Amino acid sequence: MPRLELLRLDHASPLLAFEQENRAYFAALIPDRGDDYFAHFDARHSDLLAEQETGTVLFHLLVADDGEVLGRFNLFDVADGSAELGYRVAERAAGKGIASAAVRDMCARAAQEYGLTTLRARTTLDNPASRAVLARTGFTPVGDCTLNDRPGLRYVRDLGDLR
């Protein structure tokens, strides 16, 4: 059963493999990370770990029993009891309920381990899978936004029922 793990130094190799394997798939939905991201991946990974130490971001990987990374589930702008949730799931794992299960787990973790009371999320209008995941996991649309120069929706999830 896949599990969420807080990002660690030893995740670098499987995370790079995940990003490389799914690069074209992700680029169809969101802007590509660019060649520089891959060329300097180890430095970027170290920077993420240092940023995580500040407590303003919490990076998580969805890891299969064999150690393969199936997704990324991150909390950004952690402050004052709230954070923004962002996620991406491997193409081979999409459409199997894995994202919904991981978002539910992330919500519980945010409430119980990190003491958060509210999560925010955003997705583009042309990403029905992500909108469905957010709806299934208790997020409510609260307004329009622009994300990566594309029209989108903002969502919010009160975590009071998970505390």
> Is 30 a residue whose pLDDT tops 90?
no
pLDDT in tens, 77-119: 999 999 999 999 999 999 999 999 999 999 999 999 999 999 9
Which residues are 3's β-sheet partners?
Answer: 63
The CATH code of the domain that includes 57 is 3.40.630.30
Q: What is the residue range of 84's domain?
A: 3-162
**Range name among 27-41, 70-84, 125-139 with the lowest pLDDT average:** 27-41
pLDDT in tens, 41-50: 999 999 999 9
Domain count along the chain: 1
Report how far residue 96's alpha carbon sits from residue 37's, in angstroms, rounded to the nearest whole number.
29
Separation of alpha carbons 126 and 44, rounded Å:
29
Cβ neighbours for 144, distance < 8 A, ≥ 6 positions apart: 151, 152, 153, 154
